[in-house]
Structure 1
Amino acid sequence: MRASVLAAVVLAVGCGAPQAEPDNRPRMKQVAAAWEGSAALKQWREGFHPLDRQQWKPPEGFHSEQDQDAYAAQSFVLRTELPATPPPATAIRWPDGSGSGDGGGTTLTLSLQTAAETYRELDRGPDGEPALAVTDVRFGEIAVRTSRGPARVPAWLFTVDGYETPLARIAVAPQELPKAPVEPLDTFGEGTAPLLSYTATPDAADLTVRAGHGSCDGGVAVDVLEGADTVVLAGRIVADAEPGTSCDAAMRVETVLVTLARPLGARLVIDAATGEPLG
C-alpha cells in the first residue's frame, strides 16, 4: 500500500466521533469489474511479483539492540569474498496447483543478479557506523509468497557473524509492477479500516487479514467479493468502543479471519480502497 494512501485511511479511523459503517459494495464491484479479465491481471499472473517485504528475522532474535539498529540502518561489513561468477540459470518454481491455476506446476526463468549487485542493495548504511559482519555468501533458493501463489525462488544467502540463519535476498532482478486498472479512492469515508496484509495458502479457504483501526472504536470487519480470478477485500469499523476506553491517536492492528466460499487458489487478492493487490 502506498504511504500517502495509508496515511489517508489512518486519518479516517482515528479517534473522535463515532464512525458510521460504510457500504463497501459499490466500490468492491467497481474494483472487481476493472480487474477481472484485465491486462494488469494477466501481467500479475504471468510475471514474478513478490508480495512479502524481504525481512530478516533470526529465529533466536537479534543478539543486541546494536545488531538490530545496524540491520535497520542497512549497515554491513563484508569479511569474505563475493562469488565472482554469475549465478547458474535457475527458474522460479511454483508447485502443482498454484502459479498457472491449471492444476499443473509452472516455472519462469528471469535474469538474475550477481552476488555483488545483491550485496550493494543490502549494504546501504553509512560507513563507520556499527555494522553486521557478512562472513560467507552462497547461492540457493527460498520460499516466497507471490501474486501467483507460493514459489521457490533463486536467492543469495548471506551468513551473518554470530547467527545460524542466513540473511536471504531474492536474486531475481526486480520486475516492473503492472499499473492497477482502477484508481485509488481520493478520500476515505468514515468507518473505513485500512488493510495492511494477508496470509493464506492456495488450497485453503481461510485468509488471515491484518487491518488497522483507531483506539476509540470496537474493531474491524472485512467484507469480501469473490470473482473468477480475484478476491476483493474491504475493511470497515464495526462498532464504537466501550465507554471509558482510553483514547489516543495511534492506529491499532487487528487480525481478522476471512473464510471464502472456495479455496483461494491462484486468485489475486485486491484491496478495495487502493485498488491494488494486497501483500
Structure 2
Amino acid sequence: MTTRAKHLVSLLLAPLLGACLLAGCDSGPRADDDTSQSPRQRERARQVADAWRGSAAATAWSQGYYPMADAVQAPESGWHSQADEHAYENRNFALRGKLPAGTAAQGKVGWPSGDTLTRPLWAAEQAYRSFALDDGAGPRLTVTGAKLGTTTIATSRGTATVPAWLFALDGYGTPLKRVAVTPSKLPRSPIASTSQGSAGGLWSIPEMTGSAADGRSVTVEAAHGACDDGPVVRALETDESVVLYASVAGARSGPCTAQMLMQDVEVELHKPLGDRVLLDAVAGRPVPYGEPGGPSPSWS
C-alpha cells in the first residue's frame, strides 16, 4: 500500500467514527478486523444500490465507453532505465518531431461481444499534451513522431479495442500508446450525494487505482487523518452494482495536524466485478479510474 500526504486548509477538529461491517453479501476485511457497527453507513450503501438498480443511469452506463485502466500505456518493451521511468512518472517529455495535423473526427470502440460505439477522436497534439508537461527538470523522454493505431483497454463493459496514438520514442522499438477516443459522458446519478462524514462517518472514495486480473478485488484511494488507525473500505454487492463505502478505524479524540493522508486500499469481492457498476456511497455515482482531471480519466 502507498500513502500520500495532502494538506488541508483546516485541522481535523473532531474524531472520525470507525468503520462498519455489513452482513450477508457485504465484503471487506475479516470480521474481527473492526468491531464498530454503523447501520447508517449500511443503509446509505443500500440506498445507492437500490437507486441505481434498473435506472436510466444504469442503462446509460451499460451502453457507454468508460475506461477503467490507464489511457496512457508504456512501451511493451518496458523502460530501459530508472531515469526513463522517472521521466515518464514526472510527465517529462521533449518533442523532436512533427505530430500529424489532421485526423478523422470519430473513432470506433469495439468489444468481443460484437458491440461497437463511435466516439470523438483526440487529435495527436491534444493526446500528447495530456501526458507530456515538457517543463520539468531532470531526465526526459523524447517523442520523435506519432501515428494512429489501436490498443486494448479495460472498460466497464470488459476489454475493448480502441483507436490509439502510437508515439515513437527515441531509443525504443515499441511505442508509447495513448488512447485516442474520449470517454462517454457520465450519466446523471439517480440519487443525490451526501456530505462527507455523514451517515455515521462515511467518506468519499476519490478514485480507483487498480483491479485484480480476475476481477475479484479492486484497489481504491481512501482518506484518513493523522490520529487514527487508517481507512476501512467495505463493499455492498448486488447483481447490478458494487457500492463501496469508506470510513476510518480507531479515530482518537482531539485536534490533529493539518493534513489528510490518502491510502490505497484493496477491497476483496465475493465474485468478479465484471460489468457491475462500481459506486461510491457518498457521491452516489461511479468511482472513476485515476484522477478525473488527469491523463487517464474514466469519463469526460
Indicate the SS of the match to 2:188: coil
Tell me if the contact between 1:135 and 1:161 (Cα under 8 Å) persists in the aligned partners: yes
Post-superposition shift, 1:228? 2.5
Deviations 1:27-62 (A, max 9, x none): 112211221111111111111122345456574366
Among candidates 267, 273, 276, match of residue 264 of structure 1: 273
Indicate the SS of the match to 1:178: coil
- Distance in 1 (CA, whole Å) between partners of 2:190 and 2:7 is 22
Post-superposition shift, 1:171? 1.4
Among candidates 185, 194, 207, match of residue 176 of structure 1: 185
- Go from structure 1 to structure 2 and tell me whether the alpha carbon gap of 1:211 and 1:123 turns closer, same or farther (over 3 Å shift): closer
By relative contact order (CA 8 Å, sep 6+), the higher-ranking structure is 2
For 1:63, the aligned partner's letter is: A
Post-superposition shift, 1:267? 0.7
Give TM-score scaled by structure 2 length: 0.67
Indicate the SS of the match to 1:71: coil
With 174-183 and 51-60 compared, the bigger mean Cα shift is at: 51-60
Give runs of aligned pairs for residues 195-274 of structure 1, distance below 5 A: 195=205, 196-197=207-208, 199-200=210-211, 204-240=215-251, 249-260=259-270, 262-274=271-283
Post-superposition shift, 1:140? 2.0
Give runs of aligned pairs for residues 81-120 of structure 1, distance below 5 A: 81-83=98-100, 86=103, 91-95=108-112, 104-119=113-128
Where does structure 2 lack aligned partners over 5 or more consecutive residues?
A: 1-5, 20-37, 290-300
Where does structure 1 lack aligned partners over 5 or more consecutive residues?
A: 1-5, 96-103
Tell me if the contact between 1:45 and 1:148 (Cα under 8 Å) persists in the aligned partners: yes
- Distance in 1 (CA, whole Å) between partners of 2:216 and 2:85 is 40
Tell me if the contact between 1:149 and 1:202 (Cα under 8 Å) persists in the aligned partners: no
Among candidates 32, 35, 49, match of residue 52 of structure 2: 35
Tell me if the contact between 1:15 and 1:216 (Cα under 8 Å) persists in the aligned partners: no
- Distance in 2 (CA, whole Å) between partners of 1:140 and 1:34 is 40
Give TM-score scaled by structure 1 length: 0.71
Tell me if the contact between 1:137 and 1:156 (Cα under 8 Å) persists in the aligned partners: yes
Tell me if the contact between 1:202 and 1:264 (Cα under 8 Å) persists in the aligned partners: no
Tell me if the contact between 2:49 and 2:238 (Cα under 8 Å) persists in the aligned partners: yes
For 1:208, the aligned partner's letter is: T
Aligned to 2:293: none
Deviations 1:5-38 (A, max 9, x none): x999x989x5863634444112112211221111
Identity of aligned residues (%): 33
RMSD: 4.1
Indicate the SS of the match to 1:63: helix
Aligned residue pairs: how many?
Answer: 256
With 156-165 and 222-231 compared, the bigger mean Cα shift is at: 156-165
1:44 aligns with 2:54: no
- Go from structure 1 to structure 2 and tell me whether the alpha carbon gap of 1:160 and 1:44 turns closer, same or farther (over 3 Å shift): same
- Go from structure 1 to structure 2 and tell me whether the alpha carbon gap of 1:52 and 1:65 turns closer, same or farther (over 3 Å shift): closer
Aligned to 1:3: none
Indicate the SS of the match to 2:286: coil
- Distance in 2 (CA, whole Å) between partners of 1:236 and 1:149 is 29
Aligned to 1:63: 83
Tell me if the contact between 1:202 and 1:265 (Cα under 8 Å) persists in the aligned partners: no
Tell me if the contact between 1:136 and 1:158 (Cα under 8 Å) persists in the aligned partners: yes
For 1:86, the aligned partner's letter is: T
Tell me if the contact between 1:50 and 1:147 (Cα under 8 Å) persists in the aligned partners: yes
For 1:272, the aligned partner's letter is: A
- Go from structure 1 to structure 2 and tell me whether the alpha carbon gap of 1:270 and 1:11 turns closer, same or farther (over 3 Å shift): farther
For 2:163, the aligned partner's letter is: P
